[in-house]
Amino acid sequence: MKFHKPLFAKIPAVCALLFLALPALAAKQTGWVLEKSTLTYHVVHPLHHVEGVSHAARGKAVCSNGECSFLIAVPVKSFASGDTNRDLHMLQITRGAQFPMVVVRTQVPEAALKSSTIHANLVIQFAGHTADFKQVPFHLTTHGDHMRVKGNIPATLTDFKIPAPELLFVPIKNQIPVSVNMIWREVK
């Protein structure tokens, strides 16, 4: 006949595991919330230069164990170029109805947020495709619990498999860099 240990005999082992896990569970966790943003895409055609601007980005970051994970999302339809026809065409070629959000993810060391420049690896989902951008430089300016982040993302149409729109049978240039100007607030 086999005897089983009573349940109370297992309690010390469970308590020891919980005690060992507490430091990891109690790790200091802070974060950031995106308060204000201006994102501007730039398109160049031999006949003119176009910019589309959005102030609708939302984002947050969670910092834990010395690493900050950022998530930013902006509706494709929120970019305005000043020409509603052009904006509608942009929505069509980027399949904005099917893929309504541009999503950006990155992780940076928390200590790097105290410097004036960071180089971030970005993963961007746009128009149904994902592209990686390595070591994109951003300039940081900190005032109290606020941080301004400025930089340019060197995006191209081919990064997201978007066919180049044409004007008078001449396609736009492949480069569609995005200027970033964001203000983040630290949350503790």
pTM for this structure?
0.82
Euclidean distance between CA atoms 95 and 81, whole angstroms: 17
> One-letter amino acid identity for 123?
V
- pLDDT band per the 50, 70, 90 thresholds, residue 18: very low
> Hey, what are 89's tokens?
């065409």
For residue 17, name the pLDDT band (cuts at 50, 70, 90). very low
**Two tokens, residue 113:** 């947020």
**Alpha-carbon distance 25 to 23, whole Å?**
5
CATH label, 28-187, candidates 2.40.50.140, 3.40.50.2300, 2.120.10.70, 2.40.128.110 = 2.40.128.110
Beta strand 101-109 with 117-126 is antiparallel
Q: Quote the tokens at residue 37.
A: 């943003």
- Give the pLDDT score at 29: 77
Outline where 26-143 has alpha helix (H): 84-93
Boundaries of every domain in the chain: 28-187
Q: How far apart are CA 17 and CA 104, in angstroms?
A: 37
Q: What is the mean pLDDT of the chain?
A: 88
Tell me the pLDDT band of 101, cut-offs 50, 70 and 90.
very high
Q: How far apart are CA 173 and CA 138, in angstroms?
A: 24
